[in-house]
Amino acid sequence: MKGIVFTEFLELVEDKFGLEMVDNIITSSTLESGGIYTAVGTYSFSEMLQLLTHLSENTGISIDNLLLVYAEHFFSVIENSYPGLLATYNDPIEMISSIENHIHVEVRKIYPDAELPTFEVVEKTENSLVLIYTSSRAMHHFGLGLMNKTFAHFNATATIDLQKIKEDGTEVRFVINKN
């Protein structure tokens, strides 16, 4: 997992819960990196899982809800760092439906060893989209948060229904209907 995901996560934890919480979740975890991350480094997903688990235990907020909030924060990083990517699109349905064939292609140019989920477009109309998300990491709520912020970015709203195809969350159907 790319370091930017860790550095931004810890920045969000500090902003929302304080530096003491950052220290607490790092020291409570067994991290090969020692909790020291660089944006361009690559780290084990198990480290992120430990940090999320300890943050959840300390705050009483579910991991899914933490991922949702984190994704909304991470979208602002994308907005600030890659405005040209977002400017390519005029509509949230178009942007979300292009995750696999455009956005992830661009991510791989910057981070060639990034391990990204897949998003298969099953059905697409002007106002609706059905996607199948597949990832061994089961971070579907991170995807949901990015989708929510995509609609907000375009001053639009949508109903996004998340349906677990596999109980462990490694395969999920997103049914998106633009309001």
| pLDDT digits 0-9 by tens, 133-146 | 999 999 999 999 99
Q: Provide the pLDDT confidence category of residue 21 given band limits of 50, 70 and 90.
A: very high
Mean pLDDT for all residues in the chain = 94
Q: Report pLDDT for 153.
A: 95
Distances (CA, A) of 37 to 5, 59, 96: 9, 23, 29
| Residue 172, pLDDT above cutoff 90 | yes
Interstrand relation of 128-134 and 158-164 (parallel, antiparallel or unpaired): unpaired
pLDDT in tens, 24-44: 999 999 999 999 999 889 999
Evaluate whether 55 touches 24 at the Cβ level (below 8 Å).
no
Angle of the 63-81 helix axis to the 45-59 helix axis, nearest 10: 120
Residue 110 has pLDDT above 80, yes or no: no
Given this model, what pLDDT does residue 65 score?
96
What's the pLDDT score for residue 120? 96
Residue with tokens 């109980």: 167
Residue 173: pLDDT band (50, 70, 90) is very high
Q: What is the mean pLDDT of residues 101-106?
A: 86
pLDDT at 69: 94
Phi-psi map region of 42: left, alpha, beta (phi>0 left; psi -120 to 50 alpha) = beta
Model confidence at 157: pLDDT above 80: yes
pLDDT of residue 112: 81
CB 86 within 8 A of CB 95: yes
Reported as a single tens digit per residue, the pLDDT across 50-94 is 999 999 999 999 999 999 999 999 999 989 988 888 899 999 999
pLDDT at 34: 94
